[in-house]
A and B are shown apart, each in its own frame.
Chain A
């Protein structure tokens, strides 16, 4: 292929990239002629360039599009969605042909008459369909008068920067050449300083240094690209997908000016596209479903890029139906990722993130949009390969949010060099919280077993020795005298790394290490110091994980690995230790203990067949009380829950949470005791939760809150309402509630109601307008806060008593 043709292909591609977003913007607002200009320029250039080559198809297509667009620009025609689609289809066809031309050097054969005919449709009233309704505003009069873009100086599309195309290889060569130059300069600097001051050389050398650092900056920037270049293709993607699926989706892009390493942009492109496809295909509902759910017909996908430190986060959120936890759980169980027991205890965020596990996909039908066999597991793996991560959050029925985190660049990071046994190592600056030149007193260096601890800002922080991490002999410097680098992990956990001394910090150009070296798991790459000496970059996150300094890693150690069924250990069993009223030391499995409550003796009701107590307005069965009078004014109660039923267990003293490490010995003769075991050499009875709940468990009596009806009017809503609510009531509408619901009336309205013989059910509080009341009045002055609260409290107590009595009656009758 000759050079002219190569240039043609490249130029066409470049212009297309620049005009894609303009096309979408134009569709959203057809009257915006400045948008039109970029597209017009594109087809016009293609048409013009075709003249140099024998590409009749290209010429015909671009000519047709140009004509149609010229009509719009001149105001002779109003753009509609059918026309926009037709123009887009033509541009697509042009791209296809350009691809073919690039490969074979010749234009493929084919028929474009249908596409060209589609452009003319609006002119033919006979086939005008609903779809061809004009969208947006009709062109304004001044637009007709000012057909050229020169008339809109204030509203120009962003000017396209003059660019040239370079192979990335060449870029890399230039970059490594500059790095070599820096090394040579450093070498020279070293020699010059050895030779002493030489003013005739020092001046030019200084200049060389500053020029070199400028060039280095520029080269670094050459590798950086605005994330806009990635965003530019997304509106088109969203438009095509949504119209294919009959959905209406708007896309909102934020943070396009964030800069990212060129290669990183390529790494992110596929995951991002994948997530957007998923969102439109599965997340976003059909327009009618959205309307039915009370949402806007047009769904919104927001993509926001943010830079923080040396990571970039990209958040993709949609306001679709959210992720279906139950479906995910069912699928995960069906595919064997988790089992029922794990499902029951799994927190929902963890459950949601199962969608990134290999072999997972909830789509029941494989659609051609997102079911391509490439799952989210590949997305996660690709991101993790470059040191990134992905998480998902979801609000059912409202939104799904994917958060991608990626390092700013593959190659340059700010780093700290430390020295150990004469050798230097680098630590990414982003982890470094603080450097402490330690002496034993300031850091309170202590050994707990084999684990060293230091005290930093009143916190005990685990301390690793870099010698130990790297398997080197212990340092000659006394443990308490070494320099501590305090490192904060992404999870927020802090740990200290003891090194011999700190060297320097600065930007490090990180190069990957050979796979055999990476396998050791403690290095993230290598870099060259200014003197040309290679230095290893420590992989802090991995080191922390190896020593289980991570909160996440710690919990993971307790939990079975998802992919490791065979070798997994039973999770540690934990229990709450307490002394009951007979003086026996008992334990109950920790999972059952919902809370430890302290309740006044007055909350306990022993009038019925079984004792009960009221906690926070809920009546619960109470066990474990000694016979006879209540032993104390205040009772310690364990509130136990099996998920549905609850009960209270009265205890004399709560001891501690323990691990059931020793063997459990079954006790056949006491049904309430599951087993006895040893804790610190003493026997402890482990209560049988099954028997306990079978005998005494009850669902907590609802409603939790007493309800109250307020009178109409603003005063009642804004001034009375909050007071009633703070007294523990739930406020309900006039037509809700039952005969037990408390109602607040204004005295005058109450009297009117009484006059009209309207039956007033349930307890009533009557409010009067004047502070002075006639004698024996049952009304309360409406600003008499104290009396009002007292009345509310009495009504609440009455209601509870009535309910307890009801329940006891019911039990007695059974």
Chain B
């Protein structure tokens, strides 16, 4: 597999997003909070004439402590006609995958298992391939079929 991957860090771990899913990377401007929304939703922000839902990826995975720095940029993705901006620790690089996503014996730990499709080898080392749907559904959604398989 030679898919392009966007390498990011979430909660101190190296993760990969399929570059086809990533629309752009933006400077995160003002985020308008959304009262009564789940905690992993940081708010909404404007990208040109579009409103993006800003996802706090660490919270979305179920990590509550904020001990990592946050990148001032965000990854923009679109799922089912809605656009989201992902707040992550850092956006590192774009690289190619050198293997198919594979499970790791013993799993990735409860938080990661729900959102990770598997481990991929890349030019800058192994990374967890993240399932974007799981990411935008937040920590309370049930496990997706993919992560069960993993």
Interface residues of A (CB under 8 A from B): 176, 179-180, 183, 423, 470-472, 509, 511-517, 519-523, 526-528, 532-536
Chain B residues positioned under 8 Å from A509 (CB to CB): 49
10 A-B residue pairs with Cβ-Cβ distance under 8 Å, sorted by A, are: A176-B48, A470-B36, A511-B50, A513-B44, A516-B136, A516-B137, A520-B37, A528-B49, A533-B32, A534-B44
Residue of A whose beta carbon sits closest to that of B43 = A534
| Complex: chain B residue closest to A525, CB-CB | B51
Q: For the complex, what is the distance from the CA of A512 to the CA of B80, rounded to whole Å?
A: 11
- Min Cβ gap A186→B in Å is 11
Task: Please measure, in the bound complex, the distance between the C-alpha atom of A180 and the C-alpha atom of B138, giving whole angstroms.
Answer: 31
Would you call B51 and A511 a contact (CB within 8 A)? yes
Asked if B25 is an interface residue, CB under 8 A from chain A, the answer is no
In the bound complex, what is the Cα–Cα distance between A509 and B32 (angstroms)? 17
Closest chain A residue to B36 by CB distance? A520
Q: Whole-angstrom distance from the CB of A288 to the nearest CB of chain B? A: 53
Contacts of A515 in B (CB 8 A): 80, 82
In addition to A513-B53, A520-B38, 17 A-B residue pairs with Cβ atoms within 8 Å of each other are: A176-B50, A179-B49, A180-B48, A183-B48, A423-B33, A511-B51, A512-B81, A512-B82, A514-B84, A516-B41, A517-B34, A517-B53, A528-B46, A533-B30, A534-B32, A534-B46, A536-B32
Q: What is the CA–CA distance of A183 and B33 in the complex, to the nearest angstrom?
A: 21
Q: Is the CB of A536 within 8 A of B44?
A: yes
Q: Give the residues in chain B near A521, CB-CB below 8 Å.
A: 36
> What is the bound-complex CA distance between A471 and B35, given in angstroms?
7
B48-76 contacts to A, CB under 8 A, are: 48-51, 53
The answer to whether B45 touches A514 (Cβ under 8 A) is no
A536–B49 contact, CB under 8 A? no
CB atoms of B30 and A517 under 8 A apart: no
**Complex: chain A residue closest to B81, CB-CB:** A512
Complex: chain A residue closest to B33, CB-CB: A423
Does A516 contact B46, Cβ atoms closer than 8 Å? no
Contacts from B to A (Cβ < 8 Å): 30, 32-38, 41, 44-46, 48-51, 53, 80-82, 84, 136-138
Closest beta carbon of chain A to B33's beta carbon, Å: 7
Q: Which A residue's beta carbon lies closest to that of B84? A: A514
Supposing A511-B51, A514-B136, A516-B41 touch, asked if A522 and B36 sit within 8 A by C-beta, the answer is yes
Given the known interface contacts A512-B82, A514-B53, A515-B82, the answer about A536 and B46 at a Cβ–Cβ threshold of 8 Å is: no
8 Å CB contact of B41 from A517, A522, A527, A532: A517
Shortest C-beta distance, B102 to chain A (Å), equals 30
Central interface residue in B33, B48, B136, by most chain A CB within 10 Å: B48
- A149 CA to B91 CA in the complex, in Å? 70
Nearest-CB distance from B147 to chain A (Å)? Answer: 18
Check A423–B36 contact: CB distance below 8 A. no
A523 to B33 Cα, complex, angstroms: 13
Residue in A470, A471, A534 whose CB lies within 8 Å of B45: A534
The 5 closest A-B pairs by CB, nearest first: A470-B35, A179-B49, A514-B53, A520-B36, A526-B51
Chain A contacts for B136, CB-based, 8 A: 514, 516
B51, A516: Cβ atoms closer than 8 Å: no
Docked complex Cα distance between A509 and B51 (Å): 11
Min CB–CB distance A467 → chain B (angstroms): 9
Least distance between B82 CB and chain A CB atoms (Å): 4
Q: A423-B32, A533-B32 are in contact. Are A516 and B44 (CB under 8 A)?
A: no
- In the complex, which of the residues B51, B84, B138 contacts A534, with contact meaning CB atoms closer than 8 Å? B51
A517 touches B49 (CB 8 A): no
Instruction: Give every chain B residue within 8 A of A519 (Cβ-Cβ).
Output: 38
Establish whether residues A471 and B36, one from each chain, have CB atoms under 8 Å apart when the complex forms. Answer: yes
Residue of A at shortest CB range from B31?
A534
Asked if A520 contacts B34 (CB within 8 A), the reply is: yes
- A484–B20 CA distance with the chains assembled, in angstroms: 48
Contacts of A532 in B (CB 8 A): 46
Inter-chain CA distance A474–B17, complex, in Å, is: 41
Pair B44/A183 contact, Cβ less than 8 Å: no
Partner of A183, one of B49, B82, B138: B49
B35 to chain A: closest residue by CB: A470
Chain A neighbourhood of B82, CB < 8 A: 512-515
Distance in angstroms between the alpha carbons of A386 and B137 in the assembled complex? 23
Given contacts A180-B49, A532-B46, A516 and B33 within 8 Å (CB-CB):
no
CB nearest to A421 among chain B residues: B35
B38 in contact with A535 (CB, 8 Å)? no
B-side contacts of A514, CB under 8 Å: 41, 53, 82, 84, 136
A66 to B23, CA, bound (A): 54
In Å, the complex CA distance between A200 and B46 comes to 32
Shortest CB-to-CB span from B144 to chain A, Å, is 15
Write out the residue numbers on chain A whose beta carbons fall within 8 Å of the beta carbon of B48: 176, 180, 183
Most chain B CB neighbours (cut-off 10 Å) among A514, A521, A526? A514
Considering the complex, give the chain B residue whose CB is closest to the CB of A510.
B51
Which partner residue on chain A sits nearest B45 by CB separation?
A534
**Chain A residue at smallest Cβ distance from B48:** A180
Chain B CB within 10 A, most for which of A472, A522, A534: A534
The answer to whether A516 and B49 touch across the interface, beta carbons within 8 angstroms, is no
Chain B residues within 8 Å of A522, by CB? 35-36
Q: Give Cα A536–Cα B80 distance, bound, in whole angstroms.
A: 20
Closest to B138 in A: A516
Let me know if B53 and A516 touch, CB within 8 A.
yes
B34: chain A residues within 8 A (beta carbon): 517, 520, 523, 536
A528, B32: Cβ atoms closer than 8 Å: no
Complex alpha-carbon distance, A739 and B53, angstroms: 84
A475 to B137, CA, bound (A): 32
Contact assessment for B32 and A535 in the assembled complex, using a CB-CB cutoff below 8 Å = yes
CB distance from B75 to the nearest CB of A (A): 15
Q: How far is the CA of A397 from the CA of B69 in the complex (A)?
A: 73
Chain A residue numbers with a CB within 8 Å of B84 are: 514
